[in-house]
Amino acid sequence: MGDVSERFWAKLPDGSRDALVDRLSQSELQSVLLDVTRERAAKVTPARLLQRWQQDRFVQPSTIDPRELVQTQQRLWELLPEKFDGVQLSPVTPLGTCSAIATINQHQVVSTIRGTEVASDPTNELAIEAAVRRRAGQDRVHLAACQRVVRAQPFDGPGMSAHFELFVLVSSARDTGSCRTEAELLIDHLSFWHAVLGDKAELTFTAFTESALRDRIEDTVRPALDVAFTEDAGRTASANYYAGTALGIGLGGAGLGSGSAGLGDGGFTTWTADLLGDAKERCLTSCISTERLTAIGA
């Protein structure tokens, strides 16, 4: 992609890149790109459209039975505690939603020409909504959403798709000291995932950096749960994504050959702290793949 981009800019007069990136307003750039897109769309033939439908991984339908998926969604919403407000998110979100707060490369997101990007991670979107509600004075914010997302990076393996559905939780509150707030948020999230997955739930944590949260896990979180909460000390994935402690959400005895199934993850982030400019803000996210959950019949 980088080579193609450089060859393109080399064909244009000097200063063209700066003009498009910095000198044009968003509305001016949008008008230009809309004209280009309209003219390109006018050249699409029915034969070419059919070919793209069959070959473009971004548009191919999911293999999951939507009737079964709806049943999974219904059960998740029914089990969700009342303290969590459900949010129906838009299919698009402001440009930079992931790269600005979650340090995700913009190439991994499907950007649009209208200053937006196709939703790729509802936890980022809910963190923005949580920040809005915290700024408005809400003491503690608990949000949930179920959203189909699109990711641009290629996925390997059978059944992997460029688009899939996630059920996510995001909670944000102000720090009260000694990681007490973090412990309370963990209990809220983990209790829900235990209710969803039952006694076969495999809930883990990884401390990428040491803090008082380890003590709170021992004296507060574990006693409040009715399921094991074990440490996964060998995990390295997402060490630069989560702020200190990450979560793993899986199901044991899933009948998938390996004896267990990974369904999702989560962890503490600095997102609401960054959005509000307040280092005392605490934000916990967690999510699972509803299609994965549906496929294993849990």
117-150 per-position pLDDT tens digit: 999 999 999 999 999 999 999 999 999 999 999 9
Domains of the chain and any CATH numbers = 2-43 (no CATH), 66-295 (3.30.930.10)
Query: Contact, 150 vs 162, CB < 8 A?
Result: yes
Which residues have CB under 8 Å from 33's CB, separation 6+? 113
CA–CA separation, 227 and 179 (whole Å): 21
- Judged against a pLDDT cut of 80, whether residue 94 lies above it is answered with yes
- Judged against a pLDDT cut of 60, whether residue 159 lies above it is answered with no
- Judged against a pLDDT cut of 70, whether residue 254 lies above it is answered with no
The residue type at 231: E
- Judged against a pLDDT cut of 90, whether residue 165 lies above it is answered with yes
**pLDDT of 118:** 93
Confidence category of residue 255, pLDDT binned at 50, 70, 90: very low
Strands 281-289 and 163-174: antiparallel
- Judged against a pLDDT cut of 60, whether residue 157 lies above it is answered with no
Across the chain, the runs of DSSP E, i.e. the strands, are: 85-86, 92-94, 116-118, 140-150, 163-174, 201-207, 229-231, 245-252, 260-269, 281-289
Ranges 25-39, 152-166, 210-224, 281-295: which has the least confidence: 152-166
Strand partners, 163: 150
pLDDT 10s digits, 167-202: 999 999 999 999 999 999 999 999 999 999 999 999
- Judged against a pLDDT cut of 90, whether residue 289 lies above it is answered with yes
Confidence category of residue 5, pLDDT binned at 50, 70, 90: confident
Query: Contact, 80 vs 179, CB < 8 A?
Result: no
User: Residue with structure tokens 């991984």?
Assistant: 57
**pLDDT of 186:** 98
Query: Contact, 45 vs 149, CB < 8 A?
Result: no
pLDDT 10s digits, 61-90: 988 999 999 999 999 999 999 999 999 999
DSSP letters, 110-135, are -B-SSSEEE---HHHHHHHHHHHHHH
Percentage of the chain beyond pLDDT 70 is: 94
pLDDT, averaged across the chain: 90
Closest by Cα among 92, 138, 137 to 118: 92
Closest by Cα among 82, 168, 90, 163 to 127: 168
Q: Would you say the pTM of this structure is higher than 0.85?
A: yes
